[in-house]
Amino acid sequence: MKKIVVISIERRAKEKYMENLKFFFDGYAEVTGISIKDTDTIEKVDADVAVVANQTILNKAKAFIKDNTRIVYVDISFCHENIEKLKKIDRGAKVLLVDYKEYMAISLVGLLSEYGIQHVDFIPFAPDMRLESIGNIDEIKTIVTPGLFNCIPPNLLSAGKRIIDIGYRKIDISTISNIASKLEINDEIFNEKIINYSRGLVHKSNSITNILKNLKENSSQIDAILRNIDDGVIIVNGENKILHCNRFVCSIMGEKDCYPNSSACKTNHICKKFLVMEPVENRIIKLDGNQRVLIVTKKITKVYNELRSSTIIVKNAEKIHDMEISLRKNLFARGYVAKYTFDDIVYKGNAMTDCVQKAKKIAAIDSTTLITGDTGTGKELLAHAIHNSSKRREFPFIAINCAAISENLLESELFGYEEGAFTGAKKGGKKGLFELAHKGTIFLDEIGDISQATQVKLLRVLQEKEVMRIGGINIVPVDVRVIVATNRDLEELVEKKVFRKDLYYRLNVFTINIPPLTARKEDIPLLIESIMDEYRVHNKKISVGLMKYLIDYEWKGNVRELRNCIEYLIFMGGNELTFDDLPVSMKISEDNGDKKGNVLMGELFEEEKQIADKVLEICTYRSVGRRGLKKLISQQGFEISEYRLRKILEYLRKKNLIYYGKGREGIKKVGY
């Protein structure tokens, strides 16, 4: 154990200082003392620190210590409550200050002056002085002494003078801190002692009080952070001595209650490995035969270009993995989740029953799946249901329409990119959808429309289960189920060499074909009822004639077109919905007589369908040229270009709804 020796002239000072120091250093160092007056033989003491009462006795003190002993001079202080007593003495009053030696009494007067007691006239006195030397005793009403009542003249004790005991001088915290620094003591318990001890003392400067107050607050905050943080934290000084380690580090070492004392950490073989480690960033360390995996970061703090300390952060790899999963769940709770299940699929006929039963079996297999079917049949709905019925249902579901995004943008969206990969790339880069869908499912709609360059990258993801960001050099492993969908004939695209054969066979493992609405007419009444229930329409009824017409209608836009039609009827029709409530584009002209209903707006976008209705409405009453037609449509609030209008007119012409008149006859509706 380390040793502290106290050296003073008088025995009383030695004993008081030793008592003071033992309060702090008991358990850290052995405290002994020497009073020079009481020592006849000079013997050099082997000590780590010599605490000398004051600088005037340094030469005498050196005789008792070895040459390499570090020396600390005592700086003293007083209790706050005792100084407050002195402040209440009347200004200008004569006060007898009694100590056991004259030089001590004189020194005490000067010290009290430093602590702000300058409003009274102190008269120093000691037993070795003549009482007459102090002047008129009757003028002295108050006597001050540091607990030395036996040094006060008896006649003054019995004269009814006011006696103020200011207690023996205390060692100031600056001295305590100096000793602790030389002994390399710096732990939470010791620092707490210093802070608590300082509260009762008066300091020469108010700034010291404020510093200590802030130190206490900061210490409490830092302690709370280190105690509750989930990562291990080790703080090491410039000499590679551990200053602090928190509870997480203790648990790694298998030590109980080592916090905040870091002594256990100093000797532990795991911590020793951390101490000799060079500065690193996220190094993986395996313990207990690979049972525990830690991720360690060590950083050096430099002050004025000199190495001062280092901080070691230890993370539990398993916790990081769990956090990543939680983060993904929270991130995709904002929208990247599968919204539908098999219960949301409305059907009763055999065609759709077989399709759903097959999809349920494939959902449990967790393999790449291809969904085919005409536009509007519900391929994405089925993909949602497959994900929610699979073992990946707790993880992200990301859907992307490959045909709606340009080739370059699609590649960066799917695979991500590194910082600076191209002009406009975000700082820090960006994760691709495959990375974000880790452990979950990615749904690629319109897979037949992707470029061959993207096909190659997609094939690698399916084969190797890894991606590389654009502009990157690192391989990122991903665990993702891929569901793709298309309304195109992939075999035909392969024959035309538009779609890669190897990718086709990789995708065509488990295939589900969704039947068109014309192949499941028995489901139409049930679908209509379901759509009307969504809008909570209970006061509207579809007539028998209209229902028969809707069942027989050629729904080339499938369920999507049916939904658009029912929505129109709900908002535009009366309580009893009849043939007359249908959109103009779906009505069969009397002259046409095609009960199959050649009109099909399902292939147009919603706004284009509305414009087509307006065209038919205008042409019912008059013939009009294309420019005049554009003007009339614009007046009704539609923004339309010449190109889009020509496209809609050509569409209506092919459906035999309009025809172009000869010469200046303009555009006319068939039958009018």
CATH label of the domain that carries residue 310: 3.30.450.20
The answer to whether residue 459 scores a pLDDT higher than 90 is: yes
How far apart, in Å, do the first and last CA atoms of the chain sit? 114
- Confirm whether 328 is domain-assigned: no
Q: Which residues pair with 490 in a beta bridge?
A: none
Q: How would residue 594 be classed by pLDDT, with cut points 50, 70 and 90?
A: very low
Based on the fold, state whether residues 54 and 39 are members of the same structural domain: yes
Is the link from the previous residue into 279 a cis peptide, with omega within 30 of 0? Answer: no
Based on the fold, state whether residues 305 and 392 are members of the same structural domain: no
Say what the alpha-carbon torsion angle 228, 233, 239, 240 is, to the nearest 10 degrees. Answer: 140
The domain spanning residue 639 has which CATH number? Answer: 1.10.10.10
pLDDT digits (tens, 9 = 90+) for 636-651: 878 787 877 888 888 8
- Confirm whether 606 is domain-assigned: yes
Query: What is the rounded CA–CA span in Å between residue 169 and residue 105?
Result: 12
pLDDT score at 71: 92
Query: What is the rounded CA–CA span in Å between residue 292 and residue 286?
Result: 6
Based on the fold, state whether residues 99 and 140 are members of the same structural domain: yes
Domain boundary among 75, 97, 117: 75
Based on the fold, state whether residues 136 and 279 are members of the same structural domain: no
Mean pLDDT of 85-107: 87
Of the listed ranges 262-271, 398-407, 430-439, 609-618, the least confidently predicted one is 262-271
Based on the fold, state whether residues 384 and 487 are members of the same structural domain: yes
Based on the fold, state whether residues 420 and 486 are members of the same structural domain: yes
Domain count, the chain: 7
The domain spanning residue 353 has which CATH number? Answer: 3.40.50.300
Q: How would residue 31 be classed by pLDDT, with cut points 50, 70 and 90?
A: very high
- Confirm whether 159 is domain-assigned: yes
pLDDT score at 593: 40
pLDDT score at 185: 82
The answer to whether residue 191 scores a pLDDT higher than 80 is: no
Based on the fold, state whether residues 527 and 380 are members of the same structural domain: no
| DSSP structure class, residue 593 | -
Based on the fold, state whether residues 492 and 377 are members of the same structural domain: yes
- Confirm whether 326 is domain-assigned: no
Based on the fold, state whether residues 380 and 451 are members of the same structural domain: yes
Which long-range contacts (C-beta less than 8 Å, at least 24 apart) are formed by 459-466?
Answer: 459/500, 459/502, 459/503, 459/506, 461/434, 462/368, 462/503, 462/506, 462/507, 463/506
More confident residue, 312 or 399: 399
The answer to whether residue 238 scores a pLDDT higher than 80 is: no
Domain boundary among 300, 316, 332: 316
Mean pLDDT of 294-317: 72
Based on the fold, state whether residues 46 and 91 are members of the same structural domain: no
pLDDT score at 51: 93
More confident residue, 593 or 203: 203
pLDDT digits (tens, 9 = 90+) for 408-448: 788 888 998 888 777 777 787 888 899 888 889 999 999 99
Based on the fold, state whether residues 502 and 614 are members of the same structural domain: no
Q: How would residue 7 be classed by pLDDT, with cut points 50, 70 and 90?
A: very high
The domain spanning residue 48 has which CATH number? Answer: 3.40.50.10330
pLDDT score at 357: 95
Q: How would residue 323 be classed by pLDDT, with cut points 50, 70 and 90?
A: low
pLDDT score at 514: 95
- Confirm whether 322 is domain-assigned: no
The answer to whether residue 482 scores a pLDDT higher than 90 is: yes
The domain spanning residue 104 has which CATH number? Answer: 3.40.50
- Confirm whether 329 is domain-assigned: no
Based on the fold, state whether residues 380 and 504 are members of the same structural domain: yes
pLDDT score at 342: 94
pLDDT score at 302: 61
- Confirm whether 163 is domain-assigned: yes
* Domain assignment of residue 215, given as a range: 187-227
pLDDT digits (tens, 9 = 90+) for 528-548: 999 999 888 888 899 888 898
pLDDT score at 286: 78
- Confirm whether 177 is domain-assigned: no
